Amino acid sequence: KQGQRRLDSFFTAA
């Protein structure tokens, strides 16, 4: 089973 990661976990708010 695969989970989709979100971009928020890689990039921080500017």
Which residues of this chain interact with other proteins, rule CB under 8 A?
1-14
Nearest distance in Å: CB 10, other proteins: 5
Nearest distance in Å: CB 7, other proteins: 5
12: left (phi over 0), alpha (psi -120 to 50) or beta: beta
Nearest distance in Å: CB 9, other proteins: 7
